Structure 1
Amino acid sequence: MGSIRTTEQLGNALRAARKQLGLTQPQLALSAGVGVRFIVDLEAGKPTLRLENVLRVIDALGGEIQLTGLPSTPAVNPEG
Structure 2
Amino acid sequence: MDATLLLERLGRQIEEMRKSRGLTQVQLAYQSGMTRQKLAEVEKGSPTVAVNFYAKVLAALNAEIKVVSARRPTFEELREVFQ
Question: What is the alpha-carbon distance in structure 1 between the residues aligned to residue 63 and residue 13 of structure 2?
Answer: 11
SS at match of 2:54: helix
1:31 is aligned to 31
Q: Of Structure 1 and Structure 2, which has the larger fraction of its residues in helix?
A: 2
Report the alpha carbon displacement of residue 48 of structure 1 after superposing the two structures with TM: 1.4
TM-score (norm 1): 0.73
**1:55 aligned onto 2:55:** yes
Gaps of 5+ in 2: 70-83
Gaps of 5+ in 1: 70-80
The code of the aligned residue for 1:24 comes to T
* Cα offsets for 1:13-39 (capped at 9, x unmatched): 000000000000000000000111111
Moved over 3 A (4+): 66-69
TM-score (norm 2): 0.71
The code of the aligned residue for 1:56 comes to K
SS at match of 1:6: helix
Question: What is the alpha-carbon distance in structure 2 between the residues aligned to residue 38 and residue 32 of structure 1?
Answer: 10
Whose Rg is larger?
A: 1
SS at match of 1:46: coil
Question: What is the alpha-carbon distance in structure 2 between the residues aligned to residue 22 and residue 44 of structure 1?
Answer: 19
Question: What is the alpha-carbon distance in structure 2 between the residues aligned to residue 58 and residue 50 of structure 1?
Answer: 13
Which 10-residue stretch deviates more, 8-17 or 43-52?
Answer: 43-52
Aligned length: 65
1:75 is aligned to none
